[in-house]
Structure formats: structure tokens, C-alpha cells
Chains A and B, each alone.
Chain A
Amino acid sequence: MAKTISTKTLAKKVINHEKTLILDVRNTDEFDNWKIEGGKVEVINEPYFNLLDDVEPVSSRLEKDKEIIVVCAKGGSSEMVADLLEEAGFINAYSLEGGMKAWSEHLEPVKIGDLTDGGSLYQFVRLGKGCLSYFIESNGEAAIIDTARMTDVYENFAEKQGIQIKHLIDTHLHADHISGGLSLASKVDGKYHLPPKDATEVTFDYTPLEEGNDIIVGNTAVKVHPVYSPGHTIGSTSFIIDDTYLLTGDILFVKSIGRPDLAGLAEDWVGDLRNTLYNRYKELSDDLVVLPAHYSFAEELGEGGKVSARLGDLYSKNSGLQVEDEGVFRKMVTENLPPQPNAYQDIRQTNLGQITPEHEEQKEMEIGPNRCAVEG
């Protein structure tokens, strides 16, 4: 039997920037579409069906006593290949339990910082998809922003610290992953907040997010201040937390900016996107720490797994914020866009409550990278 490694252990290696060698045995199309990245991960691809008779196609690229983590779609083929490698003398071959499917679901909490009243802010990093959600905790209460589908992770996290989850907030209607906001709100008897302009077709009750209506966490000074910032969707809303952090949703990322086309209205929304990025955000303090809802590039994953940047620095470094000409900007965010996220239309419908896929189907819909960004 092959030795295995859990997604949790692999996640720690990635966020701690430990040297990690991955042998991905899925077919090359699937590998090229989506793979494990970040930290000091080195990944090589050789489909498992080329290794059935002999591991020779990879043996010259591997070392006999070094750790090799074998990865496939669901964990079956990687187990077989890890066995074959072990028989061939590669004594430290491990199979990733559950494969890419399990990797897509793993959430890793990373502490961003303390808040003025003694509370704290955590970023939950979904390494497999590059999705980021936020857990704001203060005086025994919590608000979660852009909750992922795997709601038990947040529940366990809250329970361990004796915290009650009160507010579930989505910055916008997501198209790349299924929101856990509504289901967790009903489970913990909390409020589910959505931007009203993104929620015109929802089939459930929600609390509308409005600029000026701050959400108070833990009855203290921790303010979650909504800022209307359309562009990725017409309702997209950012949040200033504790006057220090700017949660930008899918409008502004560390190395790129949001794409306006996932609801089919790129031409209509490009002006809003421009206005948000080049005017509205510019009026805010340069010292705000930008915390986005996604990352797309392995190098955005910083020390300890944090994904963040100073707003003022992004105005000099982020390529999406350097486009002076409006026509050039329009072209950049509407033409030659990357492929859309897997099943994005079904995901939008699920998040609107219009369809309710089975649990297994929901997992399948979320396979693959997030693809919510455009690079300048």
C-alpha cells in the first residue's frame, strides 16, 4: 500500500514555502488547465498511463531518497503510481489523498492581523482555486466575507474559539465558486448580506448591503464599512475594516484586476470598472491594506500564505492600474480574455438559488482555477 499525504500537510508545505516536488499523473490537458502551484512547489507532469509498464519515463527526473508527492484527479491513479515508484526504489513516494478534487476543497486559515479592540482578521486561503475569504472576529462574534462552500471549516474554527458567527457577507454574486454564505447563515441563524444590484434574481431573503450602513461585529469598534465599487459585477461592494483593511472582492487583485464579462455584460460594466479603479479607490488612503477575493499567480502567495498589498503600492505596481488611455483599458478588459471559469453559468444560478445541484455535482462544478482576473 502506498504511503499517503493529506491536503492539510501539503497546504502547510506550500504556505511555508518549503521545497516540495510534485509528480502530477493526470493527462496533460488537465494538467495544463489547472495544477498545484505556490511557494516553492516544483511540479512535473507524466500521465499515469505512460507509467504502467515501467516508471522509466520519470525516473531520470526523480531522486530515489527524496520526497515525491504523486497527484491525480481523485487519488486512485496517484496511489498506483506511488506503489510503482516504491517498487522501483523511490522510497519516499507519497500519494495525495483525494487528489485534485480534495485539494480544490482545502481551506487554510492565515492570520492577517489584530484589530483595534482586540479582535482579529483571518484570511482563509483556498490554495486549490486561489479563492480567499475573510473571518473577522471581535468580542465573541464573527462576520465572514465571501464564504466558500465548505462551511464546516469556518464553523469548526469558530467553535474552537467560542465565537458565534453572526454575519455572512458576499462582496458580489460569484461565478467561479459556490457561495457558502446562505447555507451557513441559515445554519447559525445569522444574516446573509448581498449587494442588492447583484441580487435582483435571487429566490431567497437576504439583507441588502448599502454604502453608509456599517456592519458592527461584536458590538465594538470593528466597523465593516461597505463601499459601492461596481465593475466585476454591477453590485460589487468593497469593505473597509477597522479603517485599516480594504477588502476588494473581485475588483482589484495584487497583480491584476477583475474581469467584467462573467455575467455577459462586459461592454456595459467596463466603465464602472474603470471608475472604481481609477477614481473611487484613488480617493481612499494609500495606506489601506488590500485584501482581494482571489489570487491567480503563485507568486502572489506571500510569507505564511498571506495574499495582500498596500493600496498605494498597487497604484505604482499593478499593471491593471497603469493604463492611462480609456480606450486601451476598454480593449484590455473586453478582448482576448482568458477562458471563463468551469461551469460559471451554473455556478451563478446556484448562487441565485435558481438551481440546487447535488453535493457531488457542486464539487464537480468547482473543479479548475478561478479565472476571475485580467492581466494588464
Chain B
Amino acid sequence: MEVKKVLDAKGLACPMPIVKTKKTMEELNSGEILEVHATDKGAKSDLTAWAKSGGHELLKDTEEDNVLKFWIKKG
């Protein structure tokens, strides 16, 4: 998977992980992939719902040592 950009949103509380993800996504072209790192537990369901409503595709997500990682393909 070719990642275009990595966004570090660790330590940020809701709503900032989504606000930053949205902003960063605007710099990408359709089909490119953004990798997001976050520690806010709520980020998982919010990012999933946000990606869906914005027409993006959540390709994969993992959780390791309390760090949530997401790979989102721009729609």
C-alpha cells in the first residue's frame, strides 16, 4: 500500500483528530492514501463514520500499544 502522507494526531482529543484528518485530506488527490495515528479512543468510530459520509474508503485499521492507526483512501 503506497501511503501519500502520514498524519500524527496522537495525544489530541476529540474533535481534533477528525479536524486535522479532514484538513490533510484536502491536500490529497482522489485515490491517494492517508495514514492517521491517534490515541483518542473515540477516533475509531468517528473516523469510520466520517470516511463513509465523505465518500472515502477506510482500507484498514489497527491498534497497537494504545495507538490507533488508520489507512484512508480519498474518494
Contact = CB atoms under 8 A, between A and B. Distances in A.
A29 B18 CA distance: 17
Given A52-B22, A74-B42, A80 B49 contact: no
A49 B45 contact: no
B53 A77 contact: no
Given A52-B22, A74-B42, A47 B50 contact: yes
A340 B54 CA distance: 32
Given A49-B22, A50-B53, A52-B22, A76 B46 contact: no
B46 A27 contact: yes
Interface in A62-81: 72-74, 76-77, 80
Question: Which DSSP category, helix, strand, loop or mixed, fits chain A's interface?
Answer: helix
Interface string B10-32: 00011110110010000000000
A303 to B, nearest CB: 36
Contacts of B54: 49
B53 A48 contact: no
Given A27-B48, A29-B49, A50-B53, 15 more contacts: A27-B45, A47-B53, A48-B15, A48-B18, A49-B46, A52-B18, A52-B19, A52-B22, A74-B14, A74-B42, A76-B13, A76-B14, A76-B16, A77-B15, A80-B19
Interface of B: 13-16, 18-19, 22, 41-42, 45-46, 48-50, 53-54
Interface of A: 27-30, 47-50, 52, 72-74, 76-77, 80, 364
